[in-house]
Structure 1
Amino acid sequence: MLDLVLRNARIAGRGAATFDIAVAGGRIADIAPSIAADAPSENLDGRLVTPGFVDTHIHLDKSCILDRCHAEHGTLQEAIAQVAAAKRAFTEDDVYERGRRTLEKAIVQGTTHMRTHVEVDPRIGLKSFQAIKRLKRDYAWAIDLEICVFPQEGLLNDPGTEALLIEACKSGAGLIGGCPYTDSDPHGQIARIFSIAREFDLDIDFHLDFDLDASWMDIEEVCRQAGAHGYGGRVAVGHVTKLSALPPKRLDAVAQRLAASGVAVTVLPATDLFLMGRDHDHAVPRGVAPAHRLAEHGVTCSLSTNNVLNPFTPFGDCSLVRMANLYANVAQAGSSRELAACFDLVTQQPARLMNLSDYGVAVGNPADLIVLDGTDPAMIVAELAAPLMGIKRGRRSFSRPAAVFNRPQ
Structure 2
Amino acid sequence: MLDLIVRNAHLAGSADGALVDIGVEAGRIVVLAPVAGERLTNAAEAIDAGGALVSAGLVETHIHLDKSHILDRCTPSPNRGTDHMKRVAAVKPGFTVDDVHARAARSLESCVLHGAMHMRTHVEVDPNVGLRGFEGVKRLVDEYAWAIDVELCAFIQEGWTGVPEADANMVAAIEGGATVVGGAPGYDPDHEWQIRRIFELATRYDLDVDIHLDMGFTTHDMDIWLVCELADRYGWGGRTAIGHGTKYSCLTPDELDRLGSRLADSGVAVTVLPATDLFVTGRHQDHAVLRGVADANVLHRCGVTCSLSTNNILNPFTPFGDGSLTRIANLYANTVQRGMASELADCFAMLSRQSAKLLRRGDYGIAVGNPADLVVWDAADAGHAVATAALPLHGFKRGRRTFTREKPVLHRPG
Q: What TM-score do the two structures reach when normalised by structure 2?
A: 0.97
Aligned to 2:169: 164
Task: Check 1:8–1:197 CA distance in 2 against 1; reply closer, same or farther (3 A cut).
Answer: same
> 1:319-355: CA deviations, max 9, x gaps?
0000010001001001111111111111111111110
Aligned to 1:402: 407
Aligned ranges for residues 52-63 of structure 1 at < 5 Å? 52-63=57-68
Aligned to 1:244: 249
Q: What SS does the corresponding residue of 2:86 show, helix, strand or coil?
A: helix
Task: Check 1:134–1:75 CA distance in 2 against 1; reply closer, same or farther (3 A cut).
Answer: farther
* Matches of 1:306 and 1:209, distance apart in 2: 15
Letter in 1 for 2:340: S
Q: What SS does the corresponding residue of 1:160 show, helix, strand or coil?
A: helix
Show structure 2 runs of 5+ residues with no match.
Answer: none
Offset, 1:35 = 3.3
Aligned to 1:177: 182
Letter in 1 for 2:256: L
Offset, 1:75 = 6.4
Aligned to 1:263: 268
Aligned to 1:45: 50
| In the alignment, structure 1 residue 6 sits paired with structure 2 residue 6 | yes
* Matches of 2:28 and 2:135, distance apart in 1: 31
Aligned to 1:28: 29
Offset, 1:47 = 1.0
Task: Check 1:51–1:166 CA distance in 2 against 1; reply closer, same or farther (3 A cut).
Answer: same
* Matches of 1:16 and 1:184, distance apart in 2: 53
Aligned ranges for residues 4-403 of structure 1 at < 5 Å? 4-14=4-14, 15-33=16-34, 34-39=38-43, 40-73=45-78, 77-403=82-408
Letter in 2 for 1:9: A
Offset, 1:262 = 0.5
> 1:206-229: CA deviations, max 9, x gaps?
000110011210000000011011
Q: What SS does the corresponding residue of 1:150 show, helix, strand or coil?
A: strand
Task: Check the 8 A contact 1:74/1:275 in 2, yes or no.
Answer: no
Offset, 1:159 = 2.5
Q: What SS does the corresponding residue of 1:380 show, helix, strand or coil?
A: helix
* Matches of 1:71 and 1:338, distance apart in 2: 33
Offset, 1:404 = 2.2
Show structure 1 runs of 5+ residues with no match.
Answer: none
* Matches of 1:391 and 1:313, distance apart in 2: 30
Give the fraction of aligned pairs with identical amino acids, expressed as a percent. Answer: 54
Deviant stretches of 4+, over 6 Å: none
* Matches of 1:20 and 1:361, distance apart in 2: 11
Q: What is the CA RMSD across the aligned residues, in angstroms?
A: 1.2
Task: Check the 8 A contact 1:57/1:116 in 2, yes or no.
Answer: yes
Task: Check the 8 A contact 1:75/1:276 in 2, yes or no.
Answer: no
Q: What SS does the corresponding residue of 1:68 show, helix, strand or coil?
A: coil
Q: What SS does the corresponding residue of 1:66 show, helix, strand or coil?
A: coil
> 1:251-295: CA deviations, max 9, x gaps?
111111100000000000000000000011110010001111100
Aligned length: 409
> 1:5-34: CA deviations, max 9, x gaps?
111111112233211100110000101024
